[in-house]
Structure formats: structure tokens, C-alpha cells
Amino acid sequence: MSDNAPIPAAQYLRMSTEHQQYSTENQMAVISQYATTHSLTVVRTYSDPARSGLMLKNRLGLRELLKDVATGETPYRAILVYDVSRWGRFQDTDESAHYEFLCKSAGIPVHYCAEPFQNDGSAFSLITKNLKRLMAAEYSRELGTKVLAGQKRLAELGFKQGGPPGYGFRRMLISSDRNPKQLLATRERKSISTDRVILAPGPDDEVKAVQGIFRMFTVERKSLKAIARELNRSGVASQLGGRWTHSVVTRMLSHPKYIGCNVFNQSTGRLGSPPKRRPRNEWVIAAGAHKGIVDAATFNKAQEILGNLTVRKTDKQLLDGLRFLLAKHRRLSYPIIRRSPEIVTLAALRSRFGSIRNAYRLVGYGSVENIGTVPTVRIMRESLLSRIQQISPDEISIIHGGLRRSRLQIKDGPTVAVLVGRYTRGMWRFTKGPSERGLMAMLARLEPDGITFRDFYLFPRVQRPDIFSLGPNNPWLSTGTPLDKLEQFCQVARELSLASAAENQP
């Protein structure tokens, strides 16, 4: 290459959807003029037409450019960009600077052709460039706020603001004076800016399916899972052709669009942030926006039933329900809770608070003595599991496997079944479940009062029937390792596990 030959350069073009005046043709014209003035010639073009400048992952052109620069096999020695905002409106201005630095460190500087400063590393250019980056990021934030405000206003007028219509509905294109024009197909968009979109009832089979779901839930009082099973068994096709699940049924039963409301702003994911559910008081709900599929009375009944499902209640609501039962019965027990599934369930308490025992404690019903005159073995077992886990919370976790089959898992160690025996007629009776067969086991014997533990033994395994009894001086107990205190549990269990593994080696 002669000394007077122009320097080869690449140009990067980006046209964002909200800046049509920055068309790729206009950018190319300015870049071409800059190249001529600075003895550069464009030999490669990278472009991202109609792409937001917020995130790199959606900009294939810029990603390809950076990849080529990183390989070091580029036919150019400079990169030409219209201005700082075309390089990107990254919300973290350091990200924009980082990508430019990657190019500069590879010996390929970036030139901003329409900017009033030279990108020469001087103090003035650095300050101006960083200010431009900040302005570009702020522009996106301000634009997002303005766009959201406009969308909310249109949503309040009953117009749908993007997204699929949902099962049982289709999108209807209407004119500015609200006259229907046509139904839009999937991914089909309006071509006239003054046209709007509303929801309209879809095919009869979908409409009847929606009405049937509400009927099964409000009249027949079927559970969410039972409704999903019935739909799948009957071969009712979902909107996307997948299987019905209880969560899909729940979303349908709780969505106001089925009574004619337009709903917007249910979630947010602005400026590339992960989607986040908004609280219901921030939703935009416009009543009477379109023709509904179910009547208001049926929908309201469904909301009442859904509101009583413990799976949809907050932790506070569950504990308030437990306090209500305690005030009503002056005590708590599994049978009392089972008889009031509309208030709280055992499964919900276990799932939210780790154990029934923890839930009892949170409502001030924490001591074993006030659980009742004859607490069940199950409750005493819950209490013991919780006590051991709390001694070494970083080393021990509870594996929940049903009301009677919870086990203790030692970190990097064995799984231990906990068997509690109640004293009756001079014997201690133990019950072992199928999931506990073959596991290391801790036997805990209760005193005759039923609320105090007598002693604890650890066994590598319990080779006994699933239901067995032990007398006070049964010689088999001597084959186990007694625990003087529960703090020894982890150490002794690990020692027994290592000894058992050594015995089984050939």
C-alpha cells in the first residue's frame, strides 16, 4: 500500500425504530463524506437495522464487528460510526466505553463522523464523549417513560397495547372512530398509525372451552388440577398446542379480560431489565373495552374461590388463618387444620415455613406442652427434626417427603431417617416408611408423658419390620450408638457412615 493510498475502514450502521431520521442511507452519506475528508475508504459494512441500542445481545451486526476485531483478521484499520448514540445507548456508559476500548486496543480506533470533536484521546474529547454517552442513555430512559405514559393512556381508552390476545380471543383492528375493520392473524400488525386494536371473542370452540372452565370451577367446584386433567383428557387444544396445567387454568380464571376489561402494565421489563410482576394496584384496567366471554357474577365468584386457595395467599394471610383456628379451638392440631382447608392447609404451612412446628411457633404456639395433652408422634417428630436442624443449620437440611417421611440430610454425608417411638403398655412402638428402608436411622424414645424424649440412638441401618416394638431392656439397642446430646448428631452420623463404607469394601 502506497503512502498516499486511503486507509481501509469499516462502517457500522444502526437505525433504531424510534429514530427514523437516522436512516442507514443518511448515516452512510455522512460517513462517506468523513472518509473522503480523512483519506479513508470503506471496505466493510456492519449494520443493525431497526435495532434498539440498549443491549448487545440483540445487535448481531455489532457483535460480528467485535468478534472480527477480536480475531485480529480484519481488512480494515478504522471503524466509522455516525455518532456516539449509534454505537449504543447502553444504560451503563462503561459498557459502551468497553466495546470501544476493545477495538482501540486491537489497533482499530473508532471515529464518530457526525460529532463536533475528534476522538483523539484528548481531555476535551474524553469528557465530551462520556457526556454524549450519558445523554444517549438518559434519552432512552426519558423516551421509555414517555412511551409508557402514552401506552397507559391508550390502554385506559380500551385499546390493546401489544402481546398475544390469549385463549378465547383474537385481535380486532378498528379505525380511529372505532369501526371494526378486520381480525388480525398471528404476528400481523396494523399498517395505519391511527388504527387501533381491541380484543374480540375467538372461535366458538375456544369460547365454549373458556365458559366450561369457569363452570367447572365455580359450579362443579373442581380443583385447578382436575380441570387441567379434564381438558387434556377431552383433547381440548390449548392456544399454543401444549398441555393444560393448573397454572394455565389459574391465569385464565383470574384475568379480567374475560369479562371485557382491557388490562395493561401487569409486568415491567424496561431498558432491558428482567421482567418483573407489578402489583395489581398499578395495573391499567379499562372496563367495557370489548365483549366479554363470561358474565361478571361468574368471574367474581371465581375470584372469591381463588382468594380462598392457600396457594395464592401470602405468608401473613396463612399465619392469620392459623391464629383464627387457634382462637376458635383454643388449640391446634393436624385434624383441626385438615377440617379447614379453605383457611389453611398442612401442605401450605410446610411449604412456606419449613415445618408445621415452625408455623406453630410463629403464631405463639411454640412449646410442646401447649400443643395438647396427647401430642401426636408426628408433631414430636417435627419438633425433633427442627431442633437438630437448628443446631447445625449450615450442615443439616430437612428433606420433606410427606407428613411422616421427612429425613435429615447431612452436607456431604448420609441421609438419616428419624424414628420416634411412643411408650405404651411397657413398649416403644416405631413405624418405618418405605422411603426410610436401608437408611441410617436415629431412634428417639419418648417418656411415658409423651412430651419428653428419653434417649437417642444412631444405627447404620435398621433391619427390622416397618412396624416394630422395643422393650425397655431390649439387647438390640446396644448395637446402636447412644447420643448423650443432640449436638453429637452430625459427628456420630459421619463416623458411622465412614465405618459402614469401610466394612462394605472388598
Is 60 exceeded by the pLDDT of residue 157? yes
In eight-state DSSP terms, residue 466 is S
Cα 236 to Cα 123, 218, 283, 312, 355, distances in angstroms: 67, 20, 31, 26, 39
What's the one-letter identity of residue 435? S
Distance, in Å, from the CA atom of 310 to the CA atom of 347, rounded to the nearest integer, reads: 9
Choice among 252-266, 339-353, 366-380, 398-412 with the minimum mean pLDDT: 366-380
Q: Could you give all domains of the chain from N- to C-terminal order, each with its CATH number?
A: 7-140 (3.40.50.1390), 169-308 (3.90.1750.20), 312-366 (no CATH), 382-503 (3.40.1350)
If one counts every other C-beta atom within 10 angstroms of the C-beta of residue 449, the result is 10
Nearest Cα neighbor of 381 from 362, 356, 361 is 356
Strands 110-112 and 276-277: unpaired
Choice among 9-23, 144-158, 218-232, 266-280 with the minimum mean pLDDT: 266-280
Supply the pLDDT for residue 250. Answer: 87
**What percent of the chain lies above the pLDDT cut of 70?**
89
Strands 180-184 and 169-174: antiparallel
Supply the pLDDT for residue 456. Answer: 94
Supply the pLDDT for residue 32. Answer: 94
Coil, helix or strand at residue 443: strand
For the chain, how many helices (H) and strands (E)?
15, 19
Supply the pLDDT for residue 93. Answer: 79
**Average pLDDT in the 41-55 region?**
80
Supply the pLDDT for residue 372. Answer: 43
Is 60 exceeded by the pLDDT of residue 489? yes
Supply the pLDDT for residue 177. Answer: 82
Q: Which segments of 272-426 are extended strands (E)?
A: 276-277, 284-286, 396-399, 407-410, 415-424
Supply the pLDDT for residue 297. Answer: 93
pLDDT band at 383 (very low <50, low <70, confident <90, very high): confident
Supply the pLDDT for residue 403. Answer: 47
pLDDT band at 371 (very low <50, low <70, confident <90, very high): very low
**Average pLDDT in the 317-321 region?**
86
Is 60 exceeded by the pLDDT of residue 272? no
pLDDT band at 366 (very low <50, low <70, confident <90, very high): low
Determine contact, residues 86/14, Cβ cutoff 8 Å: yes
**Average pLDDT in the 382-397 region?**
86
Using CB atoms within 10 Å of the CB of residue 349, give its burial: 0 to 12 exposed, 13 to 18 middle, 19+ buried: buried
Q: Which segments of 56-214 are extended strands (E)?
A: 79-81, 110-112, 169-174, 180-184, 196-201
Distance, in Å, from the CA atom of 358 to the CA atom of 341, rounded to the nearest integer, reads: 19
* CA 269 centroid distance within chain: 13
Mean confidence (pLDDT) of the chain = 84
Greater model confidence, 306 or 199: 199
Coil, helix or strand at residue 170: strand
Taking every pair of Cα atoms in the chain, the longest distance, rounded to a whole number of angstroms, is 109
Pure H helices in 179-255: 204-218, 224-233, 246-254
Distance, in Å, from the CA atom of 267 to the CA atom of 283, rounded to the nearest integer, reads: 8
Sign of the CA dihedral running 366, 367, 370, 376: positive
| Residue 11: its H or E element | strand 7-15
pTM of the model: 0.48
Greater model confidence, 105 or 240: 105
Q: Which segments of 401-484 are extended strands (E)?
A: 407-410, 415-424, 427-431, 440-446, 453-459, 467-470, 481-482
**Average pLDDT in the 346-357 region?**
80
